[in-house]
Each structure stands twice: as structure tokens, then as C-alpha cells.
A and B are shown apart, each in its own frame.
Chain A
Amino acid sequence: MNEFVETLLEMQWHEPKSSYDVVIIGGGGHGLATAYYLATKHGITNVAVIEANYIGSGNSGRNTTIIRANYGIPESVRFYQRSLELYAGLEDETGCWIMHATKGLLWMAHTETGMRAERARALINTACGAETHVVGPQEIKQICPQIDLTGSGRYPVLGASYHVGAATARHDRVVWAYAQGAMQRGVTVLQHTKVTGLLREGERVVGVETDRGPISAGVVMSAVGGNVTKIAAHAHVRLPVRTHALQAFVTNAYGLDFPGIISDSELSCYVSQTPRGQMLIGAEFEPQPSYSMQSTFNSLASCAKKISSCLPFLRELRVLRQWTGICDVSADFSPIMGFTGVDGFVISTGWGTWGFKGIPAGGQQMAELIATGTTPDLIAPFALDRFERDHSMADLGSAGTR
């Protein structure tokens, strides 16, 4: 959290104690939401969230803020729909303004194959409680007049699926809302404290080693984004996760209202407008794993070229900023939540390039798992042992998209 915000929000910062009931590694959205729901839903407040940098400095403060539930497999639609609903109530619940806005999302198709995928998406979404319709070119034009239906002659728009409940929210405010809510109830958040190892008794994990000394814990949860492989290795847990860079950029303000969110599998990019009027544009993650946060011109150029074929007005805008986050991309593009097979060590990872939308439900469900010691039904399909059970959660309709 930057100093400006620290002075604005009422938060009680603490020195580390030697022991907590629960230690959460990583002060991103998932770590803080878990702490928040432990405190609010389960009365567990002897909790520390340990953050190497400042809270929200990872991907939770770098994403393109798209919240949607229009996934391609029932388990995912149900999970993300829960998250979407929790987001919609978060301002009332926490009293914090997270700039939540329901906008609707058009997922465009340029080929018959693409249309088939969107029809399937609409059916499965609707069956699992997330409202999505198939729309034709004329309706697309009504929803978003800026779209060039010819795709500049190259990517003609045949139709789209329209996901009514899709939303955006200001990402760092989400992080602060959960941090504030948790801290007001007694949770400790330690910033600028890095976890360097795990304390173990035999196979069991009993705490963390930090650059400010050891801290013992009844349960340790890892929620460290792209750094998860190293943390899990301290417990000898191997993960089907690779760390990939994902880039995004934002333009100067566009004078007109841009309704909704546009997403496109074929162009592999997506765009929405921020409350300041800027156009926020994201792309596909880089194909090779990397821990580098260096943004590249190539990525900017190829994404800008593709998205502007369907939204030609973007060509008149200037790029203000471009940035990169390093994402924990799972082998089946679905999150990995829950027990690890090592006592005392639970995990929330595989959030890849799609985990902002999952913060409320991920936190709620992980809190329940920690508090009760059993896996809630909603996230049972996302357990790490799905890989050895040969039940991977590959979602081809959404693979590699946000």
C-alpha cells in the first residue's frame, strides 16, 4: 500500500508476534480476502498476512479488473458466479467504495468455429446460473456502437456471446477493502516482510521463516502469485504451475462513453474503460515462462494492432502506461485451491491471468476450508490432487483468457 493510502485508511499496523493460529503468505487479493473471511465469518482473528512488498504490489494491483463468470465448464461457472455475486455486495458489506460497475461483456466471434464456442458458452453459463445470450451483429452494434463489424476488413464480426453480469472494480481498492476489514477485526498485516522458508516438524508445516525471524502457525496458507513454486518447494510440494508474464496497457482518456467490456479469443485481447475514461487493454500471456516484469514493444504493438481492427477509434489514442505482472498459470488454466497433502500447509494458486475475479469466492472458500478443516463443495473440483486423479479442469472455452 502506498503511503498516501496508508494515511487515509484507518488501519492498525502491528509488529510481528512469534505465533499465530493462521499465517497467510502473500498480501494480494487472495491472501487478504481469506484473512477477511476468517475474521468475519469464522471469528478467527489471530491471523497474520505476510507481504514481501506492500499489499497489492503483485498481480492484484496490476490486472485489467475484469469480473465475469462466463467460463466453459460447470464447476468454473458456479465458482466464478459466486465470486461475481460477492463482488456485487462488497461495497455494502465493507463500507468501502471499490468502484464496482456492472457493464456486461461481449465475447466476439469471427468464424463459425468461434460462433459455436460462444453458443456453447451461452448454454453452459445459463444452465449454471450465469446469464449469457448469443447476439448477432446488429445487437452488438447497439450494445457497443464503436465496433467496426467488418473488423477493418480482416476480422468480420459474426456474432458474440453477451454476458450480462460482467463487471469491473478498482483493483487496489479491492485489496485495501479486504485489508481494512480484516485489520479492523484484529488481523495483523505485515508489509515489507519476506517469507524465506517454512518451519517444519517432520513432514508437517508449523510456521514460516521470514527475514524478520521465524513465526509459528497452526496453518500456513500460500497465496504468493507467481512465486508459488519456491514457497511450495519448502514443503516438498510440486505444482503443475508455470510463471508467465502478462502485459497490459492503458491509453489517455477517450472523450466518449465506452459501454461494456469487449473480449475476443481470436484477437486474444480484451478492453474496457476505466472510470477516468482511459481505455484499458490486455493481451495474452507470453508463451515462455519468465519472472521478468520487463514490458515489451512487440507485445504492445501486436495487441494494439489487433484490437484496433475491431475498435478503430483506439488508433487516435495515445498509450500512457504499459506494465507486466508475473502470473501463476496452472497446467489446466483453472485455479488450485485447498489441501496440499502436507499437514499444516494449504494453498491458493493457479490464478494465472484470471484470478482477480476469483478473489471474493476464493477467499471465502479458503477461509471455510481453514476454519472447518474440510474442503467446501464449491472448490472441491479445484483441489491439487485432481491431477493425480486425472480430473484436470481444462476449460477450452476460456483457456488462456482473462
Chain B
Amino acid sequence: MLWLNCPQCGSRPVEEFAFGGELPTVPDRITDPHERDIDYVWMFDNLEGVSTERWFHQAGCRRWHTVARDTIDDTLIT
């Protein structure tokens, strides 16, 4: 099972955290500003591999932090 490292509280089981989504990226090839906004709001990279995302430690310090996670096997990178 997945454990995350909270910089404040230490290593904790994933149940203590809320997933806040990956850091949004918009592909460079989308140039129209309106289309970039739509992409930013709705579209996901849905990476199969290392994803950089925000997590909220709701059962602990109640602060956000950034995590690198491998979505292939759902394991923590940093």
C-alpha cells in the first residue's frame, strides 16, 4: 500500500491524505489562449509513469505538499 512522506509529519499511509491533482500542464502546441484555458481547466495528462502532484495531509498538519509518484505501480518516488 502507498505511503507518502509529509515534510512536516513524516511517512504516513495514503488514507491520511487527500489527492489534490497533478500539476497542470498545457501542451506547447496549443497556442490559442482560449483553448489553452480549456485544456488547463479540463484536460489531464493522466501519465503512465512519474506524475508530480499535490497532496493534502488532512489527518495531520493539514498542509499541502508536492509528491512525485509512479502511476505504473502506485509507488512513491519522493
Out of A230, A241, A286, A288, name the residue touching B48 (CB < 8 Å).
A230
Interface contact A290-B44, CB-CB below 8 Å: no
- Contact (A291, B1) CB under 8 Å given A240-B42, A242-B46, A243-B46: no
Interface contact B44-A241, CB-CB below 8 Å: yes
Out of A236, A242, A288, name the residue touching B2 (CB < 8 Å).
A288
Interface contact B43-A239, CB-CB below 8 Å: yes
How many chain B residues have a CB neighbour from A under 8 Å?
27
Q: How far is the CA of A236 from the CA of B42 in the complex (A)?
A: 15
Contacts of B38 in A (CB 8 A): 387-388
Contacts of B73 in A (CB 8 A): 292, 294
Interface contact B71-A290, CB-CB below 8 Å: yes
Query: Which one of B19, B38, B43, B46 has the greatest number of beta carbons of chain A within 10 Å?
Result: B46
How far, in Å, is B3 (CB) from chain A's closest CB?
A: 11
How far, in Å, is B66 (CB) from chain A's closest CB?
A: 14
The answer to the question of A353 belonging to the interface, with a C-beta cut-off of 8 Å to chain B, is: no
Q: How far is the CA of A288 from the CA of B13 in the complex (A)?
A: 13
The answer to the question of B61 belonging to the interface, with a C-beta cut-off of 8 Å to chain A, is: no
The answer to the question of A298 belonging to the interface, with a C-beta cut-off of 8 Å to chain B, is: yes
Contacts of B44 in A (CB 8 A): 229, 239-242, 289, 331
Interface contact A291-B29, CB-CB below 8 Å: no
Out of B14, B39, B74, name the residue touching A238 (CB < 8 Å).
B39
Interface contact B43-A292, CB-CB below 8 Å: no
The answer to the question of A297 belonging to the interface, with a C-beta cut-off of 8 Å to chain B, is: yes
Closest to B46 in A: A229
Q: How far is the CA of A230 from the CA of B45 in the complex (A)?
A: 9
Query: Which one of A241, A290, A331, A387 has the greatest number of beta carbons of chain B within 10 Å?
Result: A290
How far, in Å, is A292 (CB) from chain B's closest CB?
A: 4
Contacts of A229 in B (CB 8 A): 44-46, 48
Interface contact B43-A290, CB-CB below 8 Å: no
The answer to the question of A95 belonging to the interface, with a C-beta cut-off of 8 Å to chain B, is: no
How far, in Å, is A90 (CB) from chain B's closest CB?
A: 32
Contacts of A298 in B (CB 8 A): 1, 13, 15
Q: For the A-B complex with A229-B48, A239-B44, A289-B71 known, give 14 more contacts whose Cβ atoms are closer than 8 Å.
A: A229-B46, A238-B43, A240-B44, A242-B44, A242-B46, A243-B71, A286-B74, A287-B18, A287-B19, A288-B69, A289-B46, A291-B72, A292-B74, A297-B1
Interface residues of B (CB under 8 A from A): 1-2, 13-15, 18-19, 22, 27, 29, 35, 38-39, 41-46, 48, 51, 53, 69, 71-74
Interface residues of A (CB under 8 A from B): 229-230, 236, 238-243, 245, 286-292, 294, 296-298, 331, 387-388
